[in-house]
Amino acid sequence: MIALASDYMMFKLANGDTVPFSPMNLSIEVDAGTASPFDTEFIHHAANAVFHFFQHELKRETISVAEFAEAMEKVLSGFAPGNAAAPTQKKTPLHVLESDLVRLAQESGRDAELFFFSNLREELRRQLKQAPHVVRFRGLRCCVKHLTGARRWNGRCRQLEEQIVEYLRKCLNAEPSDAERALVVD
């Protein structure tokens, strides 16, 4: 038997077959009625997050397409504008803090990844001191292209993009907190 690559998970289809997929192989279709508030890149990042959750947090090797679709629906409905909470729940406003990854990359200089990661950690800590519900880092693609000096997206860009997201996840998990908080990187 051939071992499955670490970035793949087995998806069980409705007919009982299982097929290996990585986040890059996933194609997400969203109903036209619900798709309007989301752009393609946002949906791509949401799918990667759901994939990561099942594979790394739940340590699953196999998942049904229905389970994945249900999780995607929950994630996207949580970000939908005007998302009404259940009548029994009291909805509290989310405290969202944003940082610009492009600004951090520019402050670090071209080809200065070491300075960038140090600045990124400090920016995350600065935001967490304000106890936000959501920490958002925007401008990931432009930031990566600036740091790599690339004009077009390439394999090195994709690798650095994944490193930045993973680094932010690890830094967030390393910081002590009693409250639930979310990380959004786009």
Alpha-carbon dihedral sign for residues 123, 146, 138, 49:
negative
What are the tens digits of pLDDT across the range 133-179?
888 898 999 999 989 888 998 999 999 999 999 999 898 888 877 67
Output the average pLDDT for the chain: 78
Q: Rounded to two decimals, what is the model's pTM?
A: 0.53
Domain count, the chain: 2
Do the Cβ atoms of 96 and 136 come closer than 8 Å?
yes
Same domain, 100 and 75: no
Q: What residue numbers bound the domain in which 19 lies? A: 9-79
- Residue that finishes a domain, picked among 79, 111, 130: 79
